[in-house]
Amino acid sequence: MLRPPRPATLLANLRRAWRRSLQLRVVSITLVMSTLLVGTFGLVVANRIIDGLLDAKAADAHKQVAAGTETVKEYVRQVPNPRVDPYLNTNLPGLVAGLVRGNPDGFSVAVVPTEPNIGELDPQAQPNALAFRQLPTAFRQKVASGGFYEQREMIEVDGQGAQPYLIVGRSVTARTYQLEVYYFFPLDDEVRAATLVRNILFATGTALVLLLAAVAFLVTRMVVSPVRVAARTAQRLSAGLLDQRMEVRGEDDLAALAASFNQMAENLQRHIQRLEEMSRLQRRFTSDVSHELRTPLTTVRMAADLIFTERDGFDAPVARSAELLQAELDRFERLLTDLLEISRFDAGFAVLDAEPTDLVPIVHRVVDQLRGVAERASVDFDLVIPDEPVIAEIDPRRVERVLRNLVGNAVDHGERQPVEVRLAVADGVVALTVRDHGVGLKPGEEKLVFNRFWRADPSRARQTGGSGLGLSISVEDARLHGGWLEAWGAPGKGAQFRLTLPTRAGEHLTSSPLRLVPEDVDARPVVGHQRDDAVAEPGADLLVAGPAHPGETR
């Protein structure tokens, strides 16, 4: 059984639709504004019409009352002594009946004395006694004080309930006597007319609002539909479908927009194809040159090895030249190897040979390989490594290469200070950090350390003789594992690199068991980007950076 959506869910869906749909916002705003406008206009018109009907009714009533009061005055003048003569009380019902006889409006009349000593005039004996009893006291007092007044009241009618009436009261003075004349005009016709006017205005206003909403829907649809088509086409273009184009219809502004969009897409496609071709040629050139240099390098290497082996029999300058030749050939060979590796990454041919591997021996092996270089640079190693094995599904060759590049860079920039290497694992994530205490990184340099052939200080002597491609290759190796390679640095506080990898291939990373910002750094606000790790990382004037990896936003 399907359950109706909860109010919170429905409200969330409405908010989402409001944010995402321009057409919904335009139609809704048009509907609300037109409802307010038409409602206000209809209310004003209805009130004016009703006021006009009541004003006309009041004008006619005033004429009836003026004529009736003259008849009452004439009648009182003919009474010899109304205070003692019963003639006034006896013939008053007939007078009242004469006043209301033959009127098409169906009004009623009541005549009562103002002076309390004229007790013979009994309004209860008049035909409209029920209406008279419902006269408001305040209204009677105003009429008795002299004057001409009117008021609308609901009066109970036998068998019909409360009915609207226009009551007009006038004080009449004849000879020395004062009477009060009250006319009761029913407003049934006016109420029916007002109801009809309101119904007509409501129906007309509703139809007009719906019509305006429909017009707004159609107009916005004409405008929004091409925009939606442009958005979908742009999404396809961003997804790599460069042949997508908008359909051009007509010659209006939307057609001009579609034509301009298509022209832009055409230019983008041409430039992207040109860049792709240039990139392909560059990769091919790098790959071809690297391969072509292998053959002469092998020949030169054989000759250099022979000369290097026999260097003891040469003069000192020649022996030194043989050593330099051997060192430069080693560097040249490493450069060719790195260029070939970069070309494989660029071409998308790099393959990950992941297998369960213990990272502890890899760390020890890299440190042992670089210990001689570190001794020449007067740099010691500080290892913080678990005693038990740290198993992860990795490509050991690539991870060892990453670690070798990081440790070699730390030795080059260690400034005779210890290089700290840490290894930790937690919650299916393994992390390696390499920290040096050298000059650190200047503001902005943390974004450049992973660029190809970039060096923080080109004038510095390098202990490891790198090619300038080590960190670029390391980044690609980390991405191939689905991991992160990040950098932190601060002037005068050294630098630290962190490699974070999942213990199982294909797992998604959300945090790292090791800090990127070292613990010995003062806790102050971080300048630059910082990943949302499971452990907060402090730092001030600290620079944190690292290339984005698939599925991550930096």
Is 6 within a domain? no
What pLDDT score does 539 carry?
A: 35
**Confidence band of 1 (pLDDT split at 50, 70, 90):** very low
Number of H helices, E strands in the chain: 12, 13
pLDDT bucket at 157, cuts 50 / 70 / 90: low
Based on the fold, state whether residues 61 and 160 are members of the same structural domain. yes
Q: Considering 283, 317, 345, which residue would you say is the last residue of a domain?
A: 345
What local confidence, expressed as pLDDT, does residue 536 receive?
A: 36
Under the banding of pLDDT at 50, 70 and 90, the label for residue 500 is very high
Are residues 169 and 303 located together in one domain of the fold? no
By residue count, the chain amounts to: 554
| Same domain, yes or no: 143 and 47 | yes
What are the phi and psi torsion angles at 181 (to 5°)? -115, 125
Alpha helices (H) along 440-538 = 470-480
Last residue in a domain, options 199, 218, 241: 241
Judge whether residue 87 has pLDDT over 60.
no
> What sign does the CA torsion over 307, 311, 315, 317 have?
positive
Task: Please give the structure tokens belonging to residue 447.
Answer: 């974004």
User: Do residue 204 and residue 260 come from a single domain?
Assistant: no
pLDDT at residue 215 is higher than 80: yes
Whether the Cβ atoms of residue 352 and residue 391 lie closer than 8 Å to each other: no
- Strands across the sheet containing 494-502: 381-384, 419-426, 429-436, 494-502, 484-490, 543-545, 527-528
Confidence band of 517 (pLDDT split at 50, 70, 90): confident
Q: Tell me: the pLDDT tens digits for 108-155? A: 777 777 765 444 445 544 545 556 667 777 887 888 887 778 888 777
Same domain as 478, residue 412:
yes
Q: Which domain holds residue 409?
A: 353-545
The CATH number of whichever domain residue 376 belongs to comes to 3.30.565.10
- Let me know whether 110 and 232 are in one domain: yes
Q: What is the pLDDT of residue 4?
A: 60
> Where is pLDDT greater, at 207 or 99?
207
Are 334 and 367 part of one and the same domain? no
* Per-chain mean pLDDT for the chain: 77
pLDDT at 293 over 90: no
Question: CB atoms < 10 A from the CB of 196, how many?
Answer: 11
CATH classification of the domain holding 88: 3.30.450.20
Least confident of 187-196, 329-338, 500-509: 329-338
Secondary element (H or E) of residue 468: none
Which range has the worst mean pLDDT, 222-231, 253-262, 286-295, 437-446?
286-295
pLDDT in tens, 427-439: 889 999 999 988 8
In a domain? residue 551: no
Q: Residue 533: what pLDDT?
A: 42
The number of domains in the chain is 3
Give the pLDDT confidence score for residue 189 in this predicted structure.
Answer: 83
**pLDDT tens-place string over residues 343-353:** 777 766 777 88
Domain-located, residue 9: no
Q: Does a structural domain hold residue 249? A: no
What's the pLDDT at 223?
A: 77
377 and 428 housed in the same domain: yes
CA distance 437 to 415: 7
343 compared with 182, residue with greater pLDDT = 182
Is 21 among the domain residues?
A: yes
For residue 104, name the pLDDT band (cuts at 50, 70, 90).
low
pLDDT of amino acid 432:
92
When pLDDT is cut at 50, 70 and 90, the band that residue 7 belongs to is: low
Same domain, 339 and 395: no
pLDDT in tens, 406-435: 998 889 888 888 999 999 998 889 999 999
Beta carbons within 8 Å of 405's beta carbon, 6+ residues apart: 466, 470, 471, 473, 474
Q: 553 in a domain, yes or no?
A: no
For residue 298, the domain's CATH number is 1.10.287.130
In the chain, the amino acid numbered 366 is: V
- CA 483 – CA 395 distance, rounded (Å): 12
Residue 120 confidence (pLDDT): 41
Last residue of a domain, one of 321, 345, 369: 345
**322 with 418, same domain?**
no
- 248 falls within a domain: no
Question: Hey, which residues does 236 pair with through a beta bridge?
Answer: none
34, 212 in Cβ contact below 8 A? Answer: yes
Top mean-pLDDT range of 224-238, 438-452, 502-516: 502-516
pTM of the model: 0.48
Q: Is the pLDDT of residue 58 over 90?
A: no
Same domain, 208 and 274: no
Cβ distance 153 to 183 under 8 Å?
no
333 part of a folded domain: yes
Helix, strand, coil in percent for the chain, rounding step 5: 55, 15, 30
Is 109 in the same domain as 179?
yes
pLDDT of 397 over the 80 cut: yes
